[in-house]
Chain A
Amino acid sequence: MTKVHLTTGALVLSAALTGCSLSGGDSASEPEASQGGGSSAATESGPVVLLTHDSFSLPKKLLRQFEQETGRTLEVRGSGDAGELTTKLALTAGNPDGDVAFGVDNTFASRALEEDVFATSDVELPAGAEDYALPEGGDRMVPVDNASVCVNVDDAWFEKQGKTPPKTLDDLTEPAYRGLFVTEGATTSSPGLAFLLATIAEYGEDWPSYWEDLMANDTKLAKGWEDAYYVDFTQAGGDRPIVTSYDSSPAFTVDKKTGESTTSALLDTCFRQVEYAGVLEGTDNPEGARQVLDFLLSEDVQAALPTSMYVFPVRDDVDLPQDWARFAEQPEDPATLDPAEIADNREKWLTEWTDVTTR
């Protein structure tokens, strides 16, 4: 009896699946595309394609709002992380697979500029945003959000042990914090690279010797953020109470009982990452692309950034979510490096870093 039932079930299941395969009818995209192409003012309201990394995420409501206001359909295409996105844009420069791109950050910005990925666009920056503009190429890449990579500590752990948490990069090499720090690899993860840049900004030419001290102090290297935060960090049951994460991370470790965050970011150890957007050189819909830039800088989207992409807005006139306002404190003076300097030295730094850390 069971065999017959299971077999029937399997047949029904496979039939049902075949019925709704992609080739059976792509309900999501086809009508939209024909609607855009068929309207009388096709050039003014044509669909617009946004290329981005796969952390991109905005509430559906906002995306619909954009479509209603502009009369354009918006198609979002993700492709890997920020590095992959930048490479993709660089390889297809001049014949882009979309109209506008978002998600190239300051560690990759110079590659996009060198490869002439972006066209100039005279977007008016809202109040606060110009603080994040690029020293060169500001007419092509528009800042949209920012977040800082900072060393985070598990305050609850330190309190329980009766120890004082570290405060600065120097502290991390002190014997008191031996074996307590886990950080991501600079070659394998973007916060890892940002932390390396923070140390380079702080110590200049001497950074390799700082890293030697760090490694000698039994610092652990993890592949990526997930790995470090969910396995090694004490908050998740690991055994290291110091981890490289973001300035916004404490907003996600609020204890329900006390209403206080159990972790905090060390604001003297931060490196600021800014994400940019721009109209793609060679697009046949520059007007639509330009509207997307305005959209990304609009108050509604800027206000949604913390909850949907875990980053801070560049506008200074939007309210942060409650937990963020209380626990996600931003560094006042985070480390930064000129994108051109990063571009010139990235390879040399990463090679040296690999030498130092795998010695």
Chain B
Amino acid sequence: MDRRDHALSRRRVAALLALALVPLAVLGVFFALPVAGMVSRGLFEGGRFDPGAMWEVLTRERTLRVLWFTLWSAAAGTALSLLLGLPAAYALHRLEFPGRRVLRALLLVPFVLPTLVVGVAFRQLFSTSGPLGWLGWDGSVWAILAGLAFFNTSVVIRAVGSAWESLDRRPGEAAAALGATPVQVLRTVTLPALRPSIVSAASVVFLFCATAFGIVLTLGGLRWSTVETEIYLLTTTLFQLRAAAVLSLLQLVVVLVLLVVAQRLRATPDPTVARAVPRPVRPRRTDVPALAATLVALVLIGAPILTLVAGSLRVGDGWGLANYRALTSTGSNQALTVPVTDALVTSLRTAVDATWMSLLLGTVIAFVVTRRSVTPGERRLRGALDAVFMLPLGVSAVTVGFGLLITLDQPPLDLRDSPLLVPVAQALVALPLVVRTIVPVLGGVDDRQRQAAASLGAGALRTLATVDLPVVWKPMLAAAGFAFAVSLGEFGATAFLARADTPTLPVVIYRLIGHPGALNYGMALAASCVLAAATALVMLAVERLRVPSVGAF
């Protein structure tokens, strides 16, 4: 390598870092700083660092038990979500049958439902007197796993589906023509091509499962606790900041290890997987297993939702819409300060902000991490950046939330009461999802196309518009819908940071379900159904919007 190459490579690295600067700064202020502040508050007592105390926390029998349960339940939850999600991703994105777009939109709904409400719905299904009581799952690990799969199957469907949709059919068809069985085609052609998106989805799902809070508490009874629930307990109930800090660090290390492993697995042997304009086909006989598996996923996701809908229509001993009509009021005995409808408007407005923020940051990050690296050092740098932006998923919301309070409390950074804090927090929650939705597709673009465009005289922007944009705009829309949906349903950070006089829909639902009175409970269920419907509508709009334009580029 001569000197010119070195200079070129340095320039590329500099450009790379410059582009990454904005997202890095945002992440630094709203994530790294708060977490560092909270952790050091726990570790340094009276300005003195005491590693012995750290060791004492780490070797507690309970810490080990909690860590072990977190790891294996998250692994099992991820496996289950993949098992249910992959066939459904295939059926809903590769096959043509009536209603598949509606189904696709509906399957995203669980993702934004408030965990407390879903937890109650699940428990109604599994409790001794419930319809599925005979399974004996109430308070068992099975209930937790079902809950984790309920929330995360949609992530798999969406993330893998959008990559699968535009996957070129011809290599598979060629293999089949040469005598490969469908299973062989799947194993040797399709799955390798999908590996980046599957690994992406799996790593996101694993992080979601490992940091699941409400679902583990509600469905697992009290027998099971994860690192996340333990950090919450240590911080708020016991005020043991040191133990909480140690667990936060432990969680961070585990997440980092996981991300490195995922990074390795994600590296494609052949990054130039052919993309094609999606052409869904009618289901064939060989598609029956996939369709059957999709049906199972549908039942699992549908049952708790149906429980919610049925509950929301229940009025006394009969049925009716009274719970929905009450949404324009403030509940029985003025349970709320604002009507539920006002909260919905607040939610929508916040979601708009969170969406553009996460999309902007996420797209920049996706471009940065997917450019073809010239030197190994550059590749490592991109890999590290990729992992850094996933970290927010793996850190306890309690740590970040309290960290914000103690670090952003001095001018010029006294942001504790900024109205933008909530959308920024929600954008950070949605960011990894946005990145992971865009990256696999963008990473599949053959860099030679960009080189060809450049050698024909196209500038950087022109190359972007003609090579990258046609492939990436659909995943971007999907990501926008995702981010919007996540923001609509986000509760943890929102409840912590929001003003009490402008609550969002999930906050209002939590308040309603937290108080006695049949009407309040009914309204909580009705409001959950409204939240679900709003999400489904947004996703349907995204689904529809992208249809007529296919092939227009």
Contacts and interface: CB of A to CB of B under 8 A. Distances in A.
Interface of A: 3-4, 6-7, 9-11, 13-14, 17-18, 20-24, 26, 28-29, 49, 52, 54-60, 63, 75-81, 83-84, 86-88, 90-92, 95, 97, 111, 185, 187-188, 193, 221-227, 229-232, 236-239, 245-246, 248-249, 252-253, 256, 306-308, 310, 321, 346-347, 350, 354, 357-358
Given A13-B541, A18-B352, A249-B516, A59 B127 contact: no
A60 B417 CA distance: 21
B237 A226 contact: no
27 contacts: A4-B548, A17-B348, A20-B345, A20-B352, A21-B349, A22-B423, A23-B353, A28-B501, A49-B417, A57-B500, A57-B511, A60-B337, A77-B500, A81-B236, A84-B496, A86-B236, A87-B402, A92-B409, A97-B409, A188-B222, A229-B516, A230-B120, A231-B120, A232-B127, A245-B516, A252-B518, A321-B333
Interface of B: 41, 116, 119-120, 123-124, 127-129, 217-218, 221-223, 233, 235-240, 316, 333-338, 345, 348-353, 356, 398, 402, 405-406, 409-410, 416-417, 419-420, 423, 495-503, 507, 510-511, 513-518, 521, 540-542, 544-545, 547-548
The 8 residue pairs across chains A and B that have the minimum distance between CB atoms: A10-B541, A78-B500, A83-B236, A21-B352, A252-B516, A76-B500, A307-B333, A185-B222
A312 to B, nearest CB: 14
A150 B303 CA distance: 34
Contacts of A232: 127
B121 to A, nearest CB: 9
Given A91-B41, A223-B119, A347-B238, 16 more contacts: A11-B545, A22-B423, A23-B353, A23-B420, A29-B499, A54-B495, A111-B239, A223-B222, A224-B116, A226-B514, A230-B120, A231-B120, A231-B127, A232-B127, A236-B521, A308-B333
B222 A14 contact: no
Contacts of B416: 97
Nearest to A2: B544
B120 A26 contact: no
Contacts of B410: 95
A208 to B, nearest CB: 16
Contact of B511 (A4, A55, A63, A84): A55
B402 A88 contact: yes
B96 to A, nearest CB: 16
B355 to A, nearest CB: 9
B541 A226 contact: no
Contacts of A81: 236
A128 B134 CA distance: 52
B334 A57 contact: yes
A230 B513 contact: yes
A227 B116 CA distance: 9
B409 A95 contact: yes
Contacts of B503: 54, 78
Given A22-B350, A23-B420, A226 B511 contact: no
Q: B interface, by DSSP: helix, strand, loop or mixed? A: helix
A56 B353 CA distance: 27
Contacts of A29: 419, 499
A92 B221 contact: no
A83 B406 contact: no
A231 B420 contact: no
A83 B516 contact: no
B329 to A, nearest CB: 13
Given A10-B544, A59-B334, A97-B416, A78 B498 contact: yes
Contacts of A307: 333-334
Nearest to A308: B334
A21 B514 CA distance: 29
A187 B402 CA distance: 20
A302 B497 CA distance: 27
Contacts of A18: 352
A307 B406 CA distance: 35
Contacts of A224: 116, 217-218
Given A79-B496, A226-B116, A92 B406 contact: yes
Contact of A237 (B129, B334, B405): B129
Nearest to B423: A22
A207 B423 CA distance: 47
A22 B334 contact: no
A76 B337 CA distance: 11
Contacts of B41: 91
Given A26-B419, A79-B495, A79-B496, A227 B544 contact: no
B221 A83 contact: no
A13 B335 CA distance: 30
A90 B239 contact: yes
Nearest to B116: A226
Q: With a 10 A CB-CB cut-off, give which of A11, A91, A357 has the most chain B CB atoms.
A: A91
Contact of A87 (B235, B501, B542): B235
